[in-house]
Amino acid sequence: MRAERPEDRWSARAAAGSLVVLGPALGAIAGGAVGAAAGLVGGGLLAGAANRFFERRTRRREAALAAPFPESWRALLLERYDHYERLPPLWRGRFESDVRLFLAERRITGVGTPVTDELRVLVAASAVTLTLGWPDADWDRLTEVLLYPDDFDRDYRFGGGDDDGRAGEAHAWGTIILSAPTLEESFDHDDDGYHVGLHEFAHLLDVVQGEFDGMPAGLKGSARKAWPQLVAAEMERVRQGRSVLDEYGGNDPVEFFPVAVEAFFERPAAMRRRHAELYATLRDYFLQDPAAWDEARS
């Protein structure tokens, strides 16, 4: 993530210009010349407010990046997150910057459980893992992360049974729910291909026009055309027990992508060896190569 993105500057100018033009026009329709004058003043005030919004955002990000990355956070990530440990030095620095920006801007709320500093860092690490290769990504689609004290059922009651218990849920409007204990367990078991944080944040990369459709947003060209057939073939391998992906990925095309993301970051060498096309597609999509980083680390 960047402190200031090029599109932020463009958006501020476009919003300001539109408000200055529309204000007098709407005012004229409502009240003639007097209304046009009032609209000009109002449009100018709103344009100034739009510019200040983007300026405050940039200053907030610059302040977050100016602060040193806490040593306690770095120690936590080195101890509990294998993907952070495998990152080359330059990428690790980017990761730390993204964590700071995420925590400066995104709301994390506990529901019946305290939100500790450790949990905040683990939530942020889950999110920025996916977007680390995209400097202009900032999780604008995310509205809030809710942390629950336990798994939950379809009615959001804690302690959901085996049949309908769930450890996480992503909503198309931008809310993510995570079971705090399961999130911690996901970091403690780093090679089992199951990570509730990665899974639920991956769902938000799949939202198109308010719905999940199973197609990763931003997938382009031949990879986009090949994705449906690749998913169908890989889901069949999951159902036959011939896959390194969790069996949950064979149930629904919408669930396949998050499950594949979990394996990509938690079992990259096995995925590259046994699912070469899928690994290459995700490598090019995320602009990250965890299997190669593992080899370099070895």
pTM: 0.82
Spell out the long-range contacts of 170-175 with Cβ–Cβ below 8 A and sequence spacing 24 or more: 170/200, 170/201, 170/203, 170/204, 172/207, 172/210, 172/211, 172/212, 173/143, 173/210, 174/141, 174/142, 174/143, 174/144, 174/204, 175/143, 175/144, 175/145, 175/146
What is the greatest pairwise CA distance in the chain? 74
pLDDT per residue rounded down to tens, the chain (298 residues): 665 555 555 554 555 456 556 656 655 676 667 666 665 665 565 555 555 555 676 777 777 678 899 999 999 999 999 999 999 999 999 999 999 999 999 999 999 999 999 999 999 999 999 999 999 998 999 999 999 999 999 889 987 555 678 999 999 999 999 999 999 999 999 899 999 999 999 999 998 667 788 999 999 999 999 999 999 999 999 999 999 999 999 999 999 999 999 999 999 999 999 999 999 999 999 999 999 999 998 7
pLDDT at 4: 59
Tokens (6 digits) for 166 = 């769930």
| d(C-alpha 35, C-alpha 242), whole Å | 70
Q: What domains lie within the chain, and their CATH numbers?
A: 1-66 (no CATH), 71-297 (3.40.390.10)
| d(C-alpha 202, C-alpha 288), whole Å | 15
pLDDT at 234: 98
Report the amino acid identity of residue 278. Answer: L
Tokens (6 digits) for 297 = 């680390």
* Best CA proximity match to 187, nearest among 98, 284, 154, 178: 178
